[in-house]
Amino acid sequence: MSGETTLWPLLLLAALVIALGAALAGQIRQRNALRDWLAAPELQTIPDGSGAWREIFSRLQALRKQERRQQFELGNALERFRLTIQALPAGVMLLDGQLRIVWLNDAACRHFALDAARDPGTLVSQLIRQSEFQQLAAAYRAHPSRQSAQLRVAGNDGERVLSVILIPFSEGETLLVSTDVTEQVRTETIRRDFIANVSHELRTPLTVISGFLEQFDTATPPTGEAARAFIRLMAEQAERMKRLIADLLTLSRLENSELPPSDETVDIAALVAALRTEALALSAGQHTIETAELSDAKLRGSADELRSAFGNLIFNAVRYTPAGGRITLAWRIVDGQPTFSVTDTGIGIAAEHIPRLTERFYRVDKGRATASGGTGLGLAIVKHVLARHGGRLEITSVPGRGSTFTCRFPVERSV
């Protein structure tokens, strides 16, 4: 009995030691599991703990999930940002402190013929060689502040004009932004040339008129036949100015008014017959003016505009065909397309002039055109009217033999 009594405490102690050992071993196992997991913290392999460890592991799992979600959202936002910059029509390049390319978008590659895989790491001034850019880069290095320049670069379809801006960016980096301004520069040049041309065209007859007027303001002003001749010449110049202003107003109306109606139909056969009568008056019996074919097809559009366009072509044929020549008018349907053409046996036009004939104030022979009463705006008006009707002008010509001006309209315009 006394032997049993002395064994109990020992047994209890042993049981306690075993229980403590087992508990400690469990803790060490879970700690090792945590250590192993932290070495490669994947959501799928997170240990499944017990007791307080269960709570720790489930908290870790929640934190890891949150981190994953944030990473995913950040990745998404970065990708969207990258795609946005890629989609910009402007070229964007990120340059480092030495102005080496770090990153560039597709538009920048296109603008400067660069390669997004090959060119990062290279100094931008080694790749964009234009002297305007070299000067811009040098000025920027000296004073890193927002600076810009215009460059002319070779494009697939001819020379392009780029506006390039260098902008200081974070931590010594630089943003290079390039925009294609070819169209703006072209429009601005056309506008400037146009104003210079109009001023010149109006000044010439005014100079003539004021020169004659001075003659009348002298002690011995011209009288009789001389005076009448002067007055006739002044009237001619005034007439020239009136024609020029009328053509300018027509052009401005064409640019500013609504597109021609497609529910109004124009009787082209009647229109051409009326214009032929006017052309006969202008020709004063010097030309044969005939109609080869007059279809009874009508055209949807503006009668006033079509009269102006066809009239310009017919009167040009009279003006640029020497006496004895023949002018043939035709209104027909060709491959379903309503087509009006004027053929003359006149002086013709050399091939190099043909693409430029519809430019405002472009003339092959300025003296001749002005002498025959031209304003230099006739074919520009024709081109405008045709464009507004969805049509186009074709010109074929042989110098010394004659020309054909053809207006082709879309099938839907025919009635």
Residue ranges binding ligand ADP (CB under 6 A): 312, 316-317, 320, 344, 346-347, 349, 357, 362-365, 369, 374-380, 403
Shortest distance in whole angstroms from residue 124 CB to ligand ADP:
46
Which of 132, 126, 110, 390 has its CA nearest to residue 261?
A: 390
Do the Cβ atoms of 116 and 104 come closer than 8 Å?
yes
* Shorter beta-carbon distance to ligand ADP: residue 125 or 204: 204
* Shorter beta-carbon distance to ligand ADP: residue 153 or 382: 382
Shortest distance in whole angstroms from residue 258 CB to ligand ADP:
25
Shortest distance in whole angstroms from residue 275 CB to ligand ADP:
15
Task: Please give the sequence-ordered ranges of beta strands (E in DSSP) within 21-137, or none if there are none.
Answer: 91-95, 101-104
Backbone angles phi and psi of 47, in degrees to 5: -65, 155
* Shorter beta-carbon distance to ligand ADP: residue 188 or 365: 365
The kind and range of the H/E element at 237 are helix 224-256
Q: What is the largest CA-CA distance in the chain?
A: 170
Shortest distance in whole angstroms from residue 395 CB to ligand ADP:
8
Task: Please give the sequence-ordered ranges of beta strands (E in DSSP) within 35-146, or none if there are none.
Answer: 91-95, 101-104
**Cα–Cα distance measured from residue 108 to residue 179, given in angstroms and rounded to the nearest whole number:** 9
**Cα–Cα distance measured from residue 176 to residue 124, given in angstroms and rounded to the nearest whole number:** 10
Region label for 376, one of left (φ > 0), alpha (ψ between -120 and 50) or beta (otherwise): left
* Shorter beta-carbon distance to ligand ADP: residue 136 or 244: 244
* Shorter beta-carbon distance to ligand ADP: residue 335 or 352: 352
Shortest distance in whole angstroms from residue 109 CB to ligand ADP:
42
Shortest distance in whole angstroms from residue 390 CB to ligand ADP:
21
Which of 345, 329, 262 has its CA nearest to residue 291?
A: 329
* Shorter beta-carbon distance to ligand ADP: residue 180 or 305: 305
Burial 225-260 (b: 16+ CB within 10 A, else e): eeeeebeeebeebeebbeebeebbebbeebeeeeeb
Do the Cβ atoms of 321 and 347 come closer than 8 Å?
yes
* Shorter beta-carbon distance to ligand ADP: residue 64 or 243: 243
**Cα–Cα distance measured from residue 269 to residue 330, given in angstroms and rounded to the nearest whole number:** 9
Residue 149 C-beta-side C-alpha neighbours within 13 Å: 17
Shortest distance in whole angstroms from residue 231 CB to ligand ADP:
25
Shortest distance in whole angstroms from residue 246 CB to ligand ADP:
12
Shortest distance in whole angstroms from residue 361 CB to ligand ADP:
8
| 165: Cβ contacts below 8 Å, ≥ 6 apart | 146, 147, 148, 176, 177, 178
**Cα–Cα distance measured from residue 133 to residue 114, given in angstroms and rounded to the nearest whole number:** 15
* Shorter beta-carbon distance to ligand ADP: residue 383 or 389: 383
Sign of CA dihedral 271, 399, 384, 206: negative
Shortest distance in whole angstroms from residue 99 CB to ligand ADP:
50
* Shorter beta-carbon distance to ligand ADP: residue 108 or 407: 407
* Shorter beta-carbon distance to ligand ADP: residue 164 or 342: 342
The kind and range of the H/E element at 147 are strand 147-155
